[in-house]
Amino acid sequence: MSHKLFLLPGDGIGPEIMNEVKLIIDWMNSNVDVTFECDEGLVGGCAYDAHGVAISEEDMAKAITSDAVIFGAVGGPKWADVAYEARPEAGLLRLRKDLGLFANLRPALCYPALAESSALKRELVEGLDILIVRELTGGVYFGEPKEIVTLENGEQRAVDTQIYTTSEIKRIARVAFELAKTRSNRVASAEKHNVMRSGVLWKQVVSKIAAEEYPGTPLEHVLADNCAMQLVRNPKQYDVIVCDNLFGDILSDVAAMLTGSLGMLPSASLGAPDVVTGKRKAMYEPVHGSAPDIAGKGAANPIAMIASFSMALRYSFEMIKEAEMVDTAIANVLEKGLRTGDIAKAGDTVVSTKEMGAAVIAELNALK
Ligand code: IPM
Ligand code: MG
């Protein structure tokens, strides 16, 4: 089997953490009956520096024809004054939109070895395993009008538009319910139906899908602000949380901190299955950003990036056994006490990005 990967390391710590994923890819090519062919492109600030845009047409075309895009991180203070259309994040948003990656899966797992690194008490987070299913191509991120206009009186007025259609809500709800069946089979749907029309429709449509197609899966509706509060009060009450693009952005950052560090959370962004081949377009990226403050220092935690590649093995290539090996390798490395700065407690020995990556490879060799 041969698969085409398109690597987009991006900015800041992106290239450093991508280097560790390349080692995992090489390991798979040498140890498993599979060939990953890698091509690499530019996205974000580095693409702007090279081409004046956040992603070039050539790299967009490569992303579209690849079997999976592996994405690092974009942005940094260097590009703070770039035009809005060319800002680094525009590259990421275009990839999500043009590849039709409407379903963003953000699992928040608390590894036992890291329960002490969480800002919450051990008993609240130990064994935590929740999955945030975030709608990724709609809502206020993409709704039009989206503008800043100058009024006659000289004031400026900014507008963003939150839009959801029935079909957009249905398809993300189905993803959440299907995934729930493979887990603890509970879904919580978060919205703001008390303030937003889109929340009213969201709640109605999710209820209908639940009643008609998934009667065996308990569904709870929760206001998004309450959901944020519940996530820090008693996060283990949740299994799958489904929500819109903006609430998903916020709730997944909260969920990330429960696991000990933003440097731990991977994500998969999936499109609809192709009608002929059944394959989904897909992009895998860590939830964290480009962390310009530690970029180039070899201090970044590569685990979210490596775990994102493990999600690629699972969701794009049906390599479940190998995905589980990578996940086990990560858990073992943490169990042995290896810590990058973001997950270290006082007294821990801090390892570099490369040392962490090498330790995961050593575990893979031990597991094979
Ligand atoms: C995320 C990020 C992005 C988002 C940014 C970088 C545009 O925060 O993936 O969570 O808001 O979606
Ligand atoms: Mg975010």
Contacts of 119 (CB under 8 A, 6+ apart): 257, 258
Please check the confidence at residue 260 and state whether its pLDDT lies above 90: no
The verdict on the CB of residue 168 being under 6 Å from ligand 1 is no
Q: What is the pTM of this model?
A: 0.96
Cβ–ligand 1 distance for 89 under 6 Å, the answer: yes
Res 52: pLDDT: 98
Domain 108-270 has CATH 3.40.718.10: yes
Residue with tokens 């990330």: 256
Token code pair at residue 74: 């974009």
Amino acid 1: pLDDT: 87
Q: Quick one: tokens of 147?
A: 């503008």
**pLDDT 10s digits, 293-305:** 999 999 999 999 9
Calculate the alpha carbon distances from 106 to 12, 101, 269 in Å: 22, 13, 9
Mind giving me the DSSP string for 142-181? TEEEEEEEE-TTS-EEEEEE----HHHHHHHHHHHHHHHH
Question: Which position among 22, 192, 203, 281 bears the catalytic label?
Answer: 192
**Spatial distance between the Cα atoms of 37 and 18, rounded to a whole number of angstroms:** 15
Q: In this structure, which ligand is nearest to the CA of 245?
A: 1
| Domain range list for the chain | 1-102+273-368, 108-270
Span 42-101, pLDDT tens digits: 999 999 999 999 999 999 999 999 999 999 999 999 999 999 999 999 999 999 999 999
Q: Are 350 and 333 in contact, with CB atoms under 8 Å apart?
A: no
Ligand 1 atom, smallest distance to 253 CA: 10
Determine the residue type at 318.
Answer: E
What's phi and psi for 73, nearest 5 deg?
A: -160, 155
Answer yes or no: is the C-beta of 249 below 6 A from any ligand 1 atom.
yes
Fold assignment, 1-102+273-368:
Isopropylmalate Dehydrogenase (3.40.718)
Residue 233: pLDDT above 90? yes
Residue 253 known to be catalytic: yes
Note the pLDDT of residue 117: 85
What is the rounded distance in angstroms from the CA atom of residue 267 to the CA atom of residue 362? 24
CB contact set of 347 (below 8 Å; sequence gap of 6+)? none
Helix axes 245-258, 224-233, angle to 10 degrees: 10
Active site residue 214: no
Task: State what percent of residues in the chain have pLDDT above 90.
Answer: 94
Mutate to test the pocket of ligand 1, among 132, 243, 249 (most ligand atoms within 8 A of CB): 249
Q: What is the pLDDT of residues 340-362, one digit of tens each?
A: 999 998 888 899 999 999 999 99
CA dihedral 164, 165, 170, 173 (to 10 degrees): 0
Q: Are the folds of 1-102+273-368 and 108-270 the same?
A: yes
Residue 334 pLDDT level (bands cut at 50, 70, 90):
very high
